[in-house]
Amino acid sequence: MEKVETLEKEGGVQVYELGYHIVSTVAEENLPKEVETLKAIVLKDGGSLISLGEPKLINLAYSMTKSVADIKKKFNTAYFGWLKFETKSELMPMIKKAVDANPLVLRYLLIKTVRENTLYTPKLNSVKVADKEAPKAKKSIKTDEKKATSLEDIDKSIDELVVSAE
Amino acid sequence: MIGQVKKMIKQCFFSQNNIKYVDYKDLDLIKKFLNPHARIMSRKKTAVGARSQRQLAEAIKRARFMGLLPYLSR
Q: Mean pLDDT, to the nearest integer, of A128-146?
A: 50
Helix segments in B1-74, DSSP class H: 13-16, 27-30, 43-46, 50-65
What residues does each domain of chain A span?
2-112, 120-166
Q: Which domains does chain B have, with CATH numbers?
A: 21-65 (4.10.640.10)
pLDDT digits (tens, 9 = 90+) for A72-131: 999 999 999 999 999 999 999 999 999 999 999 999 999 999 998 888 865 444 444 444
pLDDT for position A3? 43
Contacts of B23 in chain A (CB under 8 A): 118-120
Position A127 scores a pLDDT of 40
Residues A119/B23, Cβ–Cβ less than 8 Å? yes
Range in A16-25, A63-72, B6-15, B31-40 with the lowest mean pLDDT: B6-15
Please give the DSSP secondary-structure letter assigned to residue A139.
H
Inter-chain contact A119–B26, Cβ cutoff 8 Å? yes
CB contacts, 8 Å: A123 with chain B: 17
**What percent of the residues of chain B are helix, what percent strand, and what percent coil, each to the nearest 5?**
40, 5, 55
Going by C-beta distance under 8 Å and a sequence separation of 6 or more, which residues neighbour residue A22?
Answer: A31, A34, A55, A78, A79, A81, A104, A105, A106
d(CA A42, CA A155): 78
Q: A31-42 and A92-101 are packed helices; what angle lies between their axes, rounded to 10 degrees?
A: 150
Contact A109 B24 (CB under 8 A): yes
Of B30, B39, B59, B63, give the one whose Cα is nearest residue A80: B63
Under an 8 A CB cutoff, do B68 and A82 touch? no
Q: Are B29 and B22 in contact (CB under 8 A)?
A: yes
Q: How many CB atoms lie within 10 A of CB B44?
A: 7
The answer to whether A124 faces chain B, any CB pair under 8 Å, is yes
| CB distance A14 to A89 below 8 Å | yes
* Distance from C-alpha of A120 to C-alpha of B68, rounded to nearest angstrom: 17
Dihedral sign for Cα atoms in the order B2, B3, B6, B7: positive
pLDDT in tens, A7-63: 555 568 899 999 999 999 999 999 999 999 999 999 988 889 999 999 999 999 999
Q: CA-CA distance, B53 to A94, in Å (whole number)? A: 33
Test A78 with B67 for CB contact under 8 angstroms. yes
Q: Which fold is adopted by the domain A2-112?
A: Alpha-Beta Plaits (3.30.70)
Cα–Cα distance between B49 and A137 in angstroms, integer?
40
